[in-house]
Amino acid sequence: MPHSARRPRVAFVVQRCGSDIAGGAERLCLETATHLREAWDVEILTTCARDYMTWKNVYEPGLSEVAGVPLRRFAVDVPRDGAAFERLSRELESGAPVPLWRQQDWIAAQGPVCSALQQFVERSARDYDAIYFYTYLYATTYQVLPFAGDAAVLVPLAHDEWPFYLPIWDDLFRRPRGILFASRDERRLVERRFGDLPNFGPAIGIGIDPPRAVDPDAFRHAHGLDQGFALYLGRVDPAKGCAEMVEQFIELRRSERRPRKLVLAGPLEMTLPKHDDVVTLGQISDEDKWNALAAADLLVMPSRYESLSIVALEAWSVGTPILANGLSSVLVGQCRRSGGGLWYANGSEFARLLSSDLLGKAQQLGAQGKRYVEEHYRWSDVVAQHRAWLDDLLALDATHS
C-alpha cells in the first residue's frame, strides 16, 4: 500500500458492471466509485459479462468508461454450467461435511472465473493504495483478493444464507487489510459468524439522491393505473421472495373488495400466475422508477437476504413507506431505525398489514422514512467516511515505513 501526498489510487473489483446492470452490489460499487473520483484516482476492474446466470462475455475487453469512471474489462474464462452449479449447490446446502476442494469447485461453478483479472491484480496490486472487492460471494473476490496483498479491502455485502456459513470463507475474511460494511446489521451478522476480527472497519453504506421533482401522475397515466397499487422494484425472481409475495397478494385479492394492483418493475426471471391485478412492466427507466416510487401506496420488500436495501431508502426519500419481509433482520433493522415501514412474518400478516394497518399510517411512515434518509444517507457523509478511513490506514503505513 504505497503512501505519499498524492491523491490515493483506488481500484474497485466487481463481478460485472455497466449502466444497464441493476444489481445492488454492482450499483453500490459503481456509485461509490463515481462519488469518490473527485477525491481519489479511481477505476473499476470487472468482467465482460452482463448476465450473472451465464457469465457470457458480452462487453468488449479493455479500457472504457461508465458514468465517468474508467473501466477495465477482462474476459470470463468459461460461461456458467447451470446444471453443474445447481447440483453442487444442493450438495453443499445439505449441511453434510464437504471437503475444501469441493467447496472450491462450487465457487468456480458459481463464477465468474476470470484468470486475466487475477493476473492483472497480481501484476499491478502495488500500484494501488487500495483495491475494494464487492462482494464476498463470487469467484472474482475469492480467487483474486489474495493477490491484492495489503491493498485488499473487502465489502462483503453478506446475507444470512447458507453459503455464508461454508468454512471456505474463514480464511478469506481474515486476508483483507480492512472490511467495510453496508449496514450495522450486516456487521453484526459478520461478527456472529467470524468473531470480532481486527480488520473490521465501519458500516458506511450509500448516499441517496432523489430527483428534484417526480411526477407520480405521469407514471399512473403511462401504465393505466387509476387505482392504488403496491410496488415491487427489482429482479422478479423466486430468490428475491417474489413467488411468495405474488401468491400472498393473489390470496388477499380473493377476499379484498377495494381495488388494488401489485406492480412488478424489473427483469422477469420467473413464470408468474396470470391475474388481472398483477401488473408486470419489465425493466423501466430511471425516471420511471422514481415516478413509480412516488406514485405507489407502498413498496413491498419480500427478500429474506439483504445487507442493505437501496430501493427501500429510495422509496423513503420520496415519502413512500415499505412493507418488508420480517425474516430479514436487515430490513427489520432499517424499518425500526427509520420508522418508515412495517414487516410481516407470514401470509396472514402480509394481508393484514397491506390491507389496513400500513395504509392507515402510510403518510406518517413515509414522512419518518424521508427524514431518516435525509439525515443518514447523504453522499457527502459517505465520501467523507471512505476518505477518513483510508487516510487513517495510509497514515498508519507512513508511520511504520
User: Does residue 1 sit within a domain?
Assistant: no
Residues counted in the chain: 401
Q: What distance in Å separates the CA atoms of residue 292 and residue 230, rounded to the nearest whole number?
A: 10
Residue with cell 424489473: 266
Identify the pLDDT of residue 3: 47
* Contact of 311 with 233, CB cutoff 8 Å: yes
User: Does residue 195 sit within a domain?
Assistant: yes
Verify that 64 and 119 share a domain, yes or no: yes
Q: What distance in Å separates the CA atoms of residue 261 and residue 231, rounded to the nearest whole number?
A: 8
Verify that 19 and 103 share a domain, yes or no: yes
Which residue type occupies 98? Answer: V
| Domain total of the chain | 2
Verify that 222 and 364 share a domain, yes or no: yes
Q: What angle do CA 178, 180, 186 make, to 5 degrees?
A: 130
User: Does residue 317 sit within a domain?
Assistant: yes
Verify that 42 and 171 share a domain, yes or no: yes
Sheet with 152-155, edge to edge strand ranges: 62-66, 69-74, 41-47, 9-13, 130-134, 152-155, 178-181, 200-203
Verify that 233 and 367 share a domain, yes or no: yes
C-alpha cell, 388: 477518513
User: Does residue 2 sit within a domain?
Assistant: no
Q: What distance in Å separates the CA atoms of residue 360 and residue 338, rounded to the nearest whole number?
A: 18
Verify that 168 and 42 share a domain, yes or no: yes
Verify that 188 and 89 share a domain, yes or no: yes
Verify that 179 and 155 share a domain, yes or no: yes
Identify the pLDDT of residue 290: 96
Verify that 202 and 222 share a domain, yes or no: no
User: Does residue 4 sit within a domain?
Assistant: no
User: Does residue 251 sit within a domain?
Assistant: yes
Check the CA dihedral 24-29-30-33 and report its sign.
positive
Q: What distance in Å separates the CA atoms of residue 261 and residue 249, rounded to the nearest whole number?
A: 9
Kindly report, residue by residue over 349-382, the tens digit of the pLDDT: 999 888 876 767 888 999 999 999 999 999 999 9
User: Does residue 20 sit within a domain?
Assistant: yes
Q: What distance in Å separates the CA atoms of residue 130 and residue 125, rounded to the nearest whole number?
A: 8
What tens-digit pLDDT sequence spans the chain (401 residues)? 544 457 999 999 999 998 888 678 998 999 999 999 999 999 999 999 999 989 999 999 999 999 899 999 999 999 999 999 999 999 999 888 889 999 999 999 999 999 999 999 999 999 999 999 999 999 999 999 999 999 999 999 998 899 999 999 999 999 999 999 998 889 999 999 999 889 999 999 899 989 999 999 999 999 999 888 999 998 899 989 999 999 999 999 988 888 899 999 988 889 999 999 999 999 899 899 999 999 999 999 999 888 788 899 999 999 999 999 999 988 999 999 999 999 999 989 999 888 876 767 888 999 999 999 999 999 999 999 999 999 998 887 777 65
User: Going by DSSP bridges, is the β-strand pair 229-233/322-325 parallel, antiparallel, or unpaired?
Assistant: unpaired
Verify that 223 and 142 share a domain, yes or no: no
Residues 6+ apart with CB under 8 A from 232: 242, 245, 262, 263, 264, 265, 266, 299, 300, 302
* Contact of 286 with 216, CB cutoff 8 Å: no
CATH of the domain at 63: 3.40.50.2000
- Which residues pair with residue 274 across a beta bridge? none
Q: What distance in Å separates the CA atoms of residue 21 and residue 284, rounded to the nearest whole number?
A: 12
Verify that 262 and 372 share a domain, yes or no: yes
Range of the domain at 83: 9-207+378-400
User: Does residue 3 sit within a domain?
Assistant: no
Verify that 176 and 31 share a domain, yes or no: yes
Identify the pLDDT of residue 24: 82
Identify the pLDDT of residue 354: 85
Identify the pLDDT of residue 26: 92
Torsion of CA 324, 327, 329, 331, to 10 degrees: -10
Which residue type occupies 233? Answer: L
